[in-house]
Amino acid sequence: MSAPAATPDDDGERAARLEQGRWLFTQACEFVTGARAEAHLPAPALPEVAFAGRSNVGKSSLINALTGRKTLARTSNTPGRTREVNFFRLGDRLMLVDLPGFGYARASKGEIKRWTHLVRDYLRGRRNLRRVCLLLDCRHGVKEADRPVMELLDEAGVNYQVVLTKADKLKPPALERVRAEVETELARHAAAHPQVIATSAAKGTGVAELRAEIAALAERWESEL
């Protein structure tokens, strides 16, 4: 059965959400701090949206695409270069949080263990964390390395949304198959947001939609104060 046709009201609401997202991400965005231990995390004064994913999934590239700044978050061809929890303040309304990548890193076992504990402490204890964007490479979908993170988020009751990256690498039919497979798996996870957003930092695909999702979270936080 085909989806019902969009009404003018639906179109108007979508346009308003996209504009809200566009406006939010035109605000000043600046690096605040890189925390290497729980004691170094900044005070939880603003709502936070965190970005998690396997190393080399494209977290930094997506953050740069969202903010329209090419070098805000550091990108690298070497997986595992993000070794701190990095905080970026967006217009005094929101904090974007870049978490260390998991699954691969050129670092000692002790250093990797430290990152892992730091990320777990952050995800479990951050009361102002509104959502985690769990990034998956669209060419691979959910991999075994992703499942422990999904289970941790379920256990902690942290709402998370899967964001597919590098959507320009697949043709539309293949991309839709991956999206459907991921949505089927997410239906078994209590804390997972049902909508999957496909993005491409290189082409801009899905960036406006993700901005709108994040702006809605900031708006909801303010309405609850």
Domain boundaries, the chain: 10-224
Range in 18-32, 58-72, 113-127 with the lowest mean pLDDT: 113-127
Characterize the bridge pairing of strands 160-165 and 48-53.
unpaired
pTM of structure: 0.88
* Mean pLDDT across 172-178: 97
- What CATH number matches the domain at 10-224, 3.40.50.300, 3.55.40.20, 3.40.190.10, 3.40.50.1220? 3.40.50.300
Using one digit for the tens of pLDDT, what is the confidence trace for 86-116? Answer: 999 999 999 999 998 876 555 566 666 777 7
| Degrees, nearest 5: CA angle 185-145-173 | 45
DSSP string, 44-103: --S-EEEEEEBTTSSHHHHHHHHHT-TTSS---SSTT---SEEEEEETTTEEEEEPPPBS
Q: Please give the single-letter amino acid code of residue 111.
A: E
pLDDT at residue 216 in the model: 96
Q: For residue 18, which phi and psi values (nearest 5 degrees)?
A: -65, -40
Q: For residue 139, which phi and psi values (nearest 5 degrees)?
A: -75, -15
Q: For residue 204, which phi and psi values (nearest 5 degrees)?
A: 85, 0
* Mean pLDDT across 3-20: 78
| Degrees, nearest 5: CA angle 95-185-180 | 90
Helix (H, G, I), strand (E, B) or coil at 163: strand
* Mean pLDDT across 121-144: 93
Cα distance between residue 91 and residue 27, in whole Å: 5
Using one digit for the tens of pLDDT, what is the confidence trace for 44-75? Answer: 999 999 999 988 899 989 999 999 987 786 54
Task: Evaluate whether 55 touches 101 at the Cβ level (below 8 Å).
Answer: yes
> Residue 42: pLDDT above 90?
yes
Nearest in space to 201 (alpha carbons), one of 61, 17, 80: 61
